[in-house]
Chain A
Amino acid sequence: KAGVTQTPRYLIKTRGQQVTLSCSPISGHRSVSWYQQTPGQGLQFLFEYFSETQRNKGNFPGRFSGRQFSNSRSEMNVSTLELGDSALYLCASSKDSYGYTFGSGTRLTVV
């Protein structure tokens, strides 16, 4: 059974640009969550989607947005990139919201 797939694995962007990250959940999983991991702040919750509806959002500026499609695939977008947005972005999916499986993450570097 395929796991959670995140693309791309690595990304380098320039300040001011925008970026879109993609996440394909495990088949049958309808809940998808996003987390940002940095050495200074640790793992922080970005948002969670279930059946195309955002059920919760973390404490991040409006530059961070996401969406979920009817096939449960999800994307997150960061506009007007800042140096501080450099991080590992992790996506996780769940069938019942009580056991999340994570992808390998997208390493974003903003220069």
Chain B
Amino acid sequence: AQTVTQSQPEMSVQEAETVTLSCTYDTSESNYYLFWYKQPPSRQMILVIRQEAYKQQNATENRFSVNFQKAAKSFSLKISDSQLGDTAMYFCASFLRDYKLSFGAGTTVTVRA
């Protein structure tokens, strides 16, 4: 079974500052995908960023970037220049060949004005 662990239940950050969310996963497969999803109070899950395991280069989407350490099975998300609209629950997820996303428990991020 695929296990995804998010060890930080809650994080708080001042507007315009940077916050980093941790995620580790466990798989014996060599090819897989990793994702960060955001779920605001509206409850819609929104894809933030995606990383393909065979790509060494870390993915970046505007203010969001990841630090993918394949050997350590670590996939952290950095949110730069935090905005009030970033307040949400963030989920790390993995995708193997079994057609399912395995999610971590989530990290609640609160951006303070």
> Do the two shown chains form a genuine complex with each other?
yes
What residues on B are CB-neighbors of A56 within 8 Å?
98-100
Complex: A45 Cα to B43 Cα, angstroms: 17
Complex: A48 Cα to B98 Cα, angstroms: 9
Q: Do A105 and B44 touch across chains, with their CB atoms under 8 A apart?
A: yes
What residues on A are CB-neighbors of B19 within 8 Å?
none
Within 8 A of A (CB), among B56-113: 91, 95, 98-106
**Total interface residues in chain B, CB < 8 Å:** 22
Q: Do A101 and B100 touch across chains, with their CB atoms under 8 A apart?
A: no
Instruction: Contacts A42-B106, A98-B95, A99-B50 given; indicate if A58 touches B100 (C-beta within 8 A).
Output: yes
Complex: A88 Cα to B45 Cα, angstroms: 12
Q: Do A105 and B50 touch across chains, with their CB atoms under 8 A apart?
A: no
Complex: A90 Cα to B93 Cα, angstroms: 15
Complex: A50 Cα to B100 Cα, angstroms: 12
In the complex formed, the residue of A with least CB distance to B102 is A45
Report the number of A-B residue pairs with Cβ-Cβ less than 8 Å: 49
Q: Do A55 and B99 touch across chains, with their CB atoms under 8 A apart?
A: yes
Q: Which of B98, B99, B105 contacts A31 (CB 8 A)?
A: B99
Shortest beta-carbon distance from B46 to chain A in Å: 8
Q: Do A103 and B44 touch across chains, with their CB atoms under 8 A apart?
A: yes
Q: Do B50 and A45 touch across chains, with their CB atoms under 8 A apart?
A: no
Residues of B within 8 A of A (CB): 33, 35, 37, 42-47, 50, 52, 91, 95, 98-106
19 residue pairs bridging A and B, Cβ less than 8 Å apart: A33-B100, A42-B106, A43-B91, A43-B101, A43-B103, A48-B99, A50-B99, A56-B98, A58-B100, A97-B99, A98-B33, A98-B50, A98-B95, A99-B50, A100-B101, A101-B47, A102-B37, A104-B44, A105-B44
Residues of A within 8 A of B (CB): 31, 33, 35, 42-43, 45, 48, 50, 55-56, 58, 88, 90, 92, 97-105
